[in-house]
Chain A
């Protein structure tokens, strides 16, 4: 029988601190900023509607507040998307998947293959236009336990899905 039980020192363990993450597609930043732009347009439309219905006397103060509020939100969205894009990335290891993201609170998430229930690929209309897709990973039970790798090409997403599926099968055997 081939059996080994080698002692593993903590320093020998593969560390989540030493990983080189794969960057997301450049088009993803564009898609994110376009989405932010669409949000801004919608916000402006709502703002103008509010302005249209308010009385003359208060108009100037409210116009300035609404427009500066929307401009601030837009600016924040554009900056945060850029910072988030620079930091975000994914890494595939033999036994787990890592995804890091966040412009303010930065998160590194690790999900182990032997805990994954299933995996799916999806893309919205804007993502499809730029040949992008997302891979969603589902674990058991709670909805908070799911995570999604966004901003990868459709081809890579399909490859990742196929690879994770094969790893899940191996892990569950």
Chain B
């Protein structure tokens, strides 16, 4: 193979890497020091102070350029005996060698600069507890594609080339209409909180620069607000909500623009993004857990987002979960069968957890959530504060519906779960992905012979809370037996 041979010689990234790395470093510096830069531009300093600021900025600039060139020059990549080797460092030399079999996924990403330079960022997910995450900032597009194909070549665990050709590829695309619906039903509340957090951070950072006491401003603004009519308050609220919706709409639209997923029953190839284009290849045998969910609104229009947890995508690393938008439930099911070939869960006939679940949740979360604000509000509003006790009844309803909707069933291949209060979430876990089983008991659960069972995989965990101890133990025994008795290729 010509291309493979060329990878045996150590080679640097594209020279565009220097620009890309420098751009990244500059953005990081700007993010960290923008208030100081604002200070420089908006405050009149003495000549000597201005000179020292210019000297500091120039110093940072020179250090960035030197550091970037050194990083570029000493970073080399090659392939040696089924290992991907990455050399880096000047004074402190580092050589990272990743066996091909440990590479779980290869991702290509292109922001606008990378698109302009015709290069791509290549990153790899690899197994091991060392949390190996390797990236190359700028490989020429051709080389990046070549490397991706080389590393994701059918190995002993994958289909042969002929099999791949024979397999009918399924392609899922989002057209503009789908994308608009997806963007309109995004989590606007999350966007509102992001904007609020950004706004507060901006006010804090600029306070020093402009001698601007935002607290005074907010107090005077609040005083004015109380004296104004309800129309102004409603107008401001509507304005905030409108901006949040526009922001989250644009965020989702830009992120999922041109979304395409190709399923050849061995791996999923995903491409998306308007400005930052991304290509991801996930071999199906590397997927640990699959779930798909829809909020209340998306459920009504049959829109679902699949969350893929591959190796290393644990709770602390939620950002790395791959999200795949789907425009119909049947599409989700057809995709999910590549991971777990079984009929989907029927919530009506599936098993329920113990009712103590919703009662304990209400007692330990709902009750404090109602009592604490009521007690605080009583000092200001007197008996009107007792209206806040309604939170308790809302919590009761919330947890009861959540409990009623929590259903699970075991099939030969694994576990299927259905949950959600207003939205819905379906989770699939194959038994052969389980690495550990935990049985947990709180003092209450011990007194009532209950237990929660946790299945841990290399990509996160799945919990079934509040089972009877007998059922939890029986399920644990069954799963342990299943994993230990089968000599399956699980990763």
Contacts and interface: CB of A to CB of B under 8 A. Distances in A.
Interface string A103-145: 0111111111111010000000000000000000011111111
Contacts of A112: 434-436, 480, 483-484
A140 B129 contact: yes
Contacts, number: 118
B436 A115 contact: yes
Nearest to B286: A141
A8 interface: yes
Contacts of B438: 107-110
Nearest to A139: B435
Interface residues of A, number: 33
Given A140-B127, A142-B456, A142-B460, A13 B435 contact: no
Contact of B458 (A13, A17, A104, A139): A139
A15 B459 contact: no
A169 interface: no
Contacts of B312: 141-142
B478 A114 contact: no
A95 interface: yes
Given A95-B484, A144-B315, A145-B458, A10 B436 contact: no
B458 A16 contact: no
Give chain B's interface secondary structure class.
mixed
B488 to A, nearest CB: 9
Contacts of A10: 474, 477-478
B473 interface: yes
Contacts of A143: 129, 131, 314, 316
A8 B459 contact: no
Interface in B122-136: 127-129, 131
A104 B443 contact: yes
B461 A144 contact: yes
Interface string B434-469: 111111111100100000000011111100000001
B481 interface: yes
Contacts of A146: 129
Given A144-B314, A144-B315, A106 B440 contact: yes
B439 A16 contact: yes
Interface of B: 127-129, 131, 288, 311-317, 434-443, 446, 456-461, 469, 473-474, 476-478, 480-481, 483-484, 487, 490-491
13 contacts: A10-B478, A14-B481, A16-B477, A96-B484, A109-B437, A110-B438, A110-B476, A115-B436, A117-B127, A140-B129, A141-B127, A141-B128, A142-B456
Given A110-B476, A115-B490, 5 more contacts: A106-B441, A110-B437, A139-B458, A141-B459, A142-B315
